[in-house]
Structure 1
């Protein structure tokens, strides 16, 4: 009798501790489970929004490709090349939006490789379109950044925005002759590639091998070269926007799938923990009934 009475409160204390611990664990699992379900709903909604924007971005990209490739064909037909004495600038095209994978870091890495290829003696000016690429470039090339733009990527870029950016670059005092625009080229719905787009100076264009075939006045050539620069910026922005929307859709799809997998695992853990708590309570009840 003494042994039974002594063991009974000890069993009650232990069962109370197990029950409290299990209930605390169940409560934590339930809170985390609800949080992940809400995150899954958000990522699913963002995926649907990105899916609707991809088709519009692709249509704008196809139009920009036609104008960009046709207007820049003068460089290819004239066989234009940069002169050795000319200065160079790199224009990094990105946006301010995130949650789209490593699309912004790809253009930053490609720009770093091009800067390293120029050599340590050459000072390259960097102009950044978008805060995401600016954050990436500031880690390694902070001193090279001469100008940056933000408020990019909220909607499909327009030629007016590209022209305003080009005018700001020309009037900002940044000195360069040739420019290389690094942007994400849309390859398919699931792939993109950081691609350079060259823009040459008037002197390089005049020194081209086949430039004599074009009978252009200096004033017309100046206006045309500025138009090419703005058009190339527009091409890069629109192409990068389409790549960004496609990458965002893929990223949100993967995030939604991962959230679903975590919900399944946590649901299984919750059920097992709950069953263990119920079994422990039943054991305590049966043990107490047997002791009585």
Structure 2
């Protein structure tokens, strides 16, 4: 009776073993290839994390030096208050970079700019005095960096006047900032003040969008502090250009430090996710391999019993 039951099960078992093995082998092969791919990605993200970690200290030193330029600007404008009304024509310069794989650095300044132009009261764009920046919907925009340029082109292409790239590939220098300031002044775009939208460095793991406002030549001429002294005609023009270059340099160095810090954190998270995925794929591969071996043993035992 036992032999009859074994012989009755043998054809069905043997017929199911044939197509089952190729499917198991194909699945194991796919898992093995995916596991190899994820391991390669983990090596790349670990290397990028190490590179970003070594660059972060250098970027923070450059940021500390750049902030000194911003502090000097703030002292000049604090002592050049004007009784006239606040400037109406504002030029916005959005500062990001050309590189990716650094989290939400680019979308941070882009979203802040969009919210400011849309007049959002929930999360307004704040200046260095923590006051909301007044924005006209028709204000011109210039962008430093290809990433934010591509994002702003989709919704605010009518406001864009000029874009800059290949700036800040390494630690930004004052020459980079002076070149941008020179092109801004020569562009012919009229403005009473320039608002720099950049990422403010909070800590090694966080940043936030901020704005820095720099007055133009007309604003400095009308200030009470400068009217008290006799000055040459080109003095306020040169001071306005130098102040703009100072502010751009301070914003560039701080944005660069935020970018390096965000890239390090992004690569750290990517390495952790890859490690978790490798563990999951290894478990899935071992389970599939054990199932395939068990099926083969069942087939051999069934065949032997049938004989």
Tell me how large the CA RMSD over aligned residues is. Answer: 2.1
1:182-193 to structure 2, matched below 5 A, reads 182-193=197-208
Does 2:28 correspond to 1:13? Answer: no
Do the aligned partners of residues 132 and 36 (structure 1) sit closer, same or farther apart at CA in structure 2, a change above 3 Å counting?
A: same
Partner of 1:95: 97
What is the DSSP-based 3-state SS (H/G/I as helix, E as strand, rest coil) of the residue aligned with 1:139?
A: helix
Q: CA deviation at 1:214?
A: 5.8
Gaps of 5+ in 2: 120-133
- How many equivalent pairs are there? 291
**Greater CA deviation, 39-48 or 211-220?**
211-220
Partner of 1:107: 109
Gaps of 5+ in 1: none
Q: Normalising by structure 1, what TM-score?
A: 0.93
Moved >6 Å (runs of 4+): 1-6
Q: Normalising by structure 2, what TM-score?
A: 0.88
Q: CA deviation at 1:212?
A: 4.4
Q: CA deviation at 1:126?
A: 0.4
The match for 2:28 among 18, 26, 41 is 26
Partner of 1:128: 143
Do the aligned partners of residues 82 and 276 (structure 1) sit closer, same or farther apart at CA in structure 2, a change above 3 Å counting?
A: farther
1: CA distance between counterparts of 2:95 and 2:51? Answer: 23
Contact in 2 for aligned 1:30/1:270 (Cα 8 Å):
yes
Contact in 2 for aligned 1:131/1:150 (Cα 8 Å):
yes
Do the aligned partners of residues 81 and 140 (structure 1) sit closer, same or farther apart at CA in structure 2, a change above 3 Å counting?
A: farther
Do the aligned partners of residues 51 and 31 (structure 1) sit closer, same or farther apart at CA in structure 2, a change above 3 Å counting?
A: same
1:31-70 to structure 2, matched below 5 A, reads 31-70=33-72
**Deviation string, structure 1 residues 236-281 (Cα, Å, up to 9, x no partner):** 1111000000000000000000000000001001001110111111
Partner of 1:141: 156
